[in-house]
Structure formats: C-alpha cells, structure tokens
Amino acid sequence: MNILIWLAIIILLLITEKLTKNMTTIWYSCSAFISLILAIIGKNIDNFIIEFIVFIILGTTLLIFIKPKFIKKPEIKKKR
C-alpha cells in the first residue's frame, strides 16, 4: 500500500513542478522516489513513518543545498 502512496505523491509533485516551473517540488519528488525505494525494500514491514521522515529531511536538504546551484544569477554589466 505504501508503494502506491509514494507513486501518487511522485506523480502529484511532478505535475505540480511542471505547472509551476519553480524548482521547488522537484526536490521533494526526488526524495519521494527514495522513499518509494525504501517502501519496496521493506514491503513486509509497515514503516511509513520512517519513509515519511526520510522524505521530509531529504527533500528539505536538497531544497536548501542544491536548488541555489541551479538558479541563474543575473549578470551585472559594468560600465566603462
């Protein structure tokens, strides 16, 4: 059941990212994919809380540390 939940979350986050193009939800969709892998590996164990904690921590970490590297800073042309 957790596998279907994570697939739905990934799809919703990717659709949201496509509509907004804000580079925010893409990081959470990546972390949802990792949580999906955890759900597949531990399918006999009901560990949704662990998967959710990984989802939040990893998504927030990616958002804070990786997103700024993808934002283009405008170049300021110096006058001569």
pLDDT at 42: 82
Whether 73 has a pLDDT exceeding 90, the answer reads no
CA distances (Å), origin 41, targets 7, 49, 75:
15, 15, 46
Residue 31 located in a structural domain: yes
Within-domain flag for 36: yes
Asked whether residue 75 is domain-assigned, the answer is: no
Range of the domain at 24: 2-70
Count Cβ atoms within 10 A of the Cβ of residue 34 and give its class: 0-12 exposed, 13-18 middle, 19 or more buried: middle
Q: For 3-50, what is each residue's pLDDT tens digit? A: 899 999 999 999 999 998 788 889 999 999 999 999 898 877 778 888
Residue 78 lies in a domain: no
Note whether residue 23 is domain-resident. yes
Residue of 2, 9, 3 whose CA lies nearest to 30: 9
- Count of domains forming the chain: 1
Helix or strand holding residue 64 (H, E): helix 48-65
> Which residue from 41, 45, 39, 43 is spatially nearest to 9, judged by alpha carbons?
39
**Which pLDDT does position 35 carry in this prediction?**
92
